Structure 1
Amino acid sequence: MWHTGYGIEINLSLPDLGHPGRPDLLREITARVSDRDPQLLECLAHHDGRECLSETGGKSPWMFIRRGRLGGRRPLVASHLPITHRATPAESAQHKATKERIVETAGRYGLDAEAEIPMANRRSVSDAVVTGPDGRRIGWEIQYHHLSPSSVHRRSANAVEHGITPLWVAKDRTASLIDRAPWARVDDMPWKDIADGKEMVIRGGYRHLEVWKCVPSGVRHCLLSEGAGHCGAVHADWFVPALCLPRKKPVHIEDLVLQSATGQSVPVYVPSRGNGRAGRHMWVSAADRALWEEIVGEETPLPAAPVEEDDDVVTFAEQEIDRTCRAGDDSWSANDARPLRDLDQPTGGCTLPRLPPPRSCDPIRITPVERAAASAALGCPPWELGLCDGCNQLMRRHGRNAAMYCRVCRAVLNGR
């Protein structure tokens, strides 16, 4: 392509784009079109006075850069403007019906809901915003066609910046929004079925926490052993409802409308084991998230920055520049089939140390500082503190709604 500002040719197959003296060139040309001159990048054939297939087809000779997918590589691809997906009538009807169903469901539950809500900075619009009794706002984004990961992150970050928790809805297991923001996947249904209230199950994006002790009599596999062994430790992992033991009831879109707005269901992000750059976004019950945070010993906030996965890293073939316009030529589109992103497998979970056998411990040996810190952390008076009968950790052991075992030990004992 031709850079009209600098008057130079750009070769997207080279790491330095053919201009080693311009280290910021890649950042400049991959900026959003709205943040730069739309005529900054020009089809090289058009610039040379040769036939531009896009222009002769009644479209634009001006270009932008996207990230392609070809044989496991992620090359940079020059595309003509406009390339934005135009929703088909069927997609538009599905989108509208889903949005109206969310708003109507919220109204039936007595929740405030509005459609097509612009952000204060006007940079994006939520399809529907549902407000809970405590002021919690959920921004529903119905995305039934492909959207780039960078757009998903930008719009999600913009929503969070304005106090809105994003909730993306997809119908395709290959949707790039999956695990890049809080999401839910529904079936690909005719718009009339959606409008008529046909059962709309959340097929992906909602999970339940299961905790189990890894013993021979257990019904789950060991997370640490590749064979059939059992390590004796306590494992915790997230499962879709159909893979829970016992099987959980499916979650419907009406359930998520209510529970997300009231805080009964909340988003959580679980980094992948062995790969801190990737992870799973999911909706879970508030109780499951609290138990998970107790197990891992920390809160799990949503990532504030996009996570670059291995298959997102740009690759360069280092070839001679192609001076021919390839607009409309599918063989040059660098668009392999997108991989499945909504997978039913567990996340990889977490393994706790072996629980120590119950033993007597003198509460008098707990120092005043430890007792004060535990009291503040657990939100109870110091005199209600005691030791868990399972792991000897300080917990709310006495008083109203107290228990003999902490939540983690209770989960293990109950075979969760």
Structure 2
Amino acid sequence: MANIVWHTKFQISLDLTMDDLDHPEFPELWETIYKTDRYYGHRGVPVHQRDLQCGGVCRDAGVEAWMHLRLRANGRREAVHERREDEARHTVPMSDEHKAYQERILRAAEEGGFHSDSEVRTRAGRSWIQTDTLVEGADGRRIGWEVQLSSVGSEGLRGVRARAAKAEKNGITPAWHTDRSDYAQRRDAHWTRSNSLPAYVIAKTGDLRVISGFRKLDFWRCDVHAVYPCPHGVRRCGEAHATPTPKDVLFDDLVRQTAAGSIVPIQFRTATKLHRFWVTSTDQERYNDLLSDTIQLPPAREDSTAPARASHNRPTCRPDLSANPPAQSTPQADQNAAPLSPLPTQPEAPAIEAESDRTYRSTASSEADHVQQPGSEGGARLLDPLIELQQVANNEQRKLRQLNGNEERKRQRQVWFEAACEVQAAVTDFARSRGLNRYEVEKELRGIVRGTDEPQDM
């Protein structure tokens, strides 16, 4: 195919890349020439009698290469050579580095026990797929290696995604390799990259390292101990996530393991982009499990609250008490017990009010008035373990502000982080054991410590 066509009768050059064929003085020139060529084709007129020749490389070389026109379904105009040898004249000769990569892929596949061949044409419907090097792997796996090096040109590649999709549709896993950083950053195919090397180095048996395109997936829980930021943009969501990290691999091992199926392509989707790279089959299975493990929230309950009515049951502030067996106690034992508090020290189990408390409440109503509320002195006294932990964390934070060296600040920051985590865990356990709102407990604790805390030398 070519972009410049020479019309032998009109004695003009036609540029198919331009809407007016570079002849604005002749409106509807394309429709006229294309309909005429189609009429010749329906009448069986040979191509060499249709007045169209290659006006680019072939004409510059002094060769009369006859052509016919074709209009693609997407509206693209094409001029097709009559003979294949004329079409080959437009092909850029293969570089020595490209040949060296083909030879290395063939040698690596053969050492792994896999059959491979270069410049393979595979039938795909009514067209063909041309593959630089095709490796026949295990379990019917077919890896189609496409090598694109610096000699391709600065204008870049076109139709990579279409070629890769066409190969995948016909059972070929596309593997694109390059030595250019701008090609490796593309997301239209699964690209791998090595350093730019001369042909004699590529052809050697020594190690050839792939520096881009193969990654390791780190799986982690989004909590206060995580080192990665939450991909959802929140503080900590508590869900499991996966983060890809670059990892080097030898090119020969990559060829053999992709054929064996131990290294596979993957599509990793972030909030705004879709990345394509290679991972181990184990990481792919774990990532698929992570995607399939979606957490479904229970449906909202319908508001079926009955109208309020009188109740003879005594009031309670603790739900689901009926699930626990009632404790056996006596009035004398209850008199020795300390009064309940919304913020006490952490007990072994939630306290349960006994049936005999009714008699005791009638005779000891004055003692019930001594129940301490959050924020009072009694509540602060009962929160001594939590207050001490919070004060320790605050003191560690103050020490961090007084340090200047990077190493000292790094060590102190870790100490402060561990102390803060201990406080958060203690508050969570306390709130859960008492059936209280964790946020309210933490807020009350910070208010108490803020009013009483003073710097201490820990």
- Structure 2 length normalisation: TM-score? 0.44
Whichever structure has more helix as a proportion of its residues is 2
Q: Which has the larger radius of gyration?
A: 2
- Structure 1 length normalisation: TM-score? 0.48
